[in-house]
Structure 1
Amino acid sequence: MARNSLLDRFRPVGAPGPAGPAGVPATDDEGTAAELIPVFEALDPTIAEGSEETGSAGAQAQQTVAAARRQAAALVEQARLDSGAVRAEAAARVSAEAASENEHLLDEAREEAQRLRSHGESRVPELASAIVADLVQDLLGRGTDTG
């Protein structure tokens, strides 16, 4: 039985009222696949175009990944080169700071030594007088003991 439209696949049913023949799907030897064949055939160019675009996008993605890998390798290499200069700069800065700190400590030590020297030198006359007085006292004390 040839069909004119989708609605033809159902048998006509009777008017409302007492029970009559039931409306059931007509048996179809070709099945619903026969109805879908023209739809899928119409989609074939779109599917082919999608496959082409997918292939093109995949190739473009591979090129982008390869370019990104090259760029990353160049950045890593540049960082390796720059690290030597940064290390040298840091070492120079640390050395300069250490030299400055050493110079500061040396200046403080010189000031402390000068202060101690001045203090010691200021006490020399007093200590010399005390020593001479002790010696004189000691000599006078001996002279009276022997005489």
Structure 2
Amino acid sequence: MARNSLLDRFRPVGSPGPAGPAGVPATDDEGPEAELVPVFEALDPTIREAQELTNDASVRAADTVARARAQAAALVEQARIDSGAVRAAAAEKVSSEAEAADTEMLRQATEEAAELKERGEARMPELASVIVADLVQDLLGSGNTFP
């Protein structure tokens, strides 16, 4: 007997005319496995190739992740090293700015003190004469005589 094809699974139906029996599978001895096994056997190489590609991709992904983690760790370590230098530079900048501000304040205070001293020395003769005049007035007003 010749091998059945897919179309041979159905019984022939009667010619056009009155209703006849419906087409149903002629034999169901072998079942769907007989039809599907060759298809899946043909897919086996493709499935194996897909599994190999997936495994290779997993290995490469793990390698990439490991390299990325190592690179990130190196960057973090370099940042820790650099942070000390940055902190020192920032502290030096703040210190020098504070020193410059202190120097400017001292200069301004020295100038103001010099101006006050100059004004005080300029007013000294006038104030001394007023004080002496007041003392003389007090002594004369109190009836005291000079020796």
Fold conserved (TM > 0.5)? yes
Structure 1 equivalent of residue 24 of structure 2: 24
Deviation beyond 6 Å, 4+ runs, structure 1: none
Question: Any idea what the Cα deviations from partners look like across 1:15-62, whole Å, max 9, x if unmatched?
Answer: 333221222233411111210111111111111111111111111112
Structure 2 equivalent of residue 4 of structure 1: 4
Deviation at 1:122, TM superposition (A): 2.2
Structure 1 equivalent of residue 90 of structure 2: 90
Letter matched to residue 6 of structure 1: L
Cα RMSD of the aligned pairs, angstroms, is 2.0
TM (normalized to structure 1)?
A: 0.87
Structure 2 residue 73 is the aligned partner of structure 1 residue 73 = yes
- Name the count of aligned residue pairs: 145
- Structure 2: gaps (5+ residues): none
Counterparts in 2 of 1:144 and 1:95: CA distance versus 1, 3 Å:
closer
Structure 1 equivalent of residue 50 of structure 2: 50
Letter matched to residue 112 of structure 2: E
Q: Give yes or no for contact 1:10–1:26 (8 Å, CA) kept in 2.
A: yes
Identical residues among aligned pairs (%): 70
TM (normalized to structure 2)?
A: 0.87
Q: Give yes or no for contact 1:3–1:9 (8 Å, CA) kept in 2.
A: no
Deviation at 1:3, TM superposition (A): 4.9
- Structure 1: gaps (5+ residues): none
Structure 1 equivalent of residue 99 of structure 2: 99
Letter matched to residue 84 of structure 1: G
Deviation at 1:121, TM superposition (A): 1.9
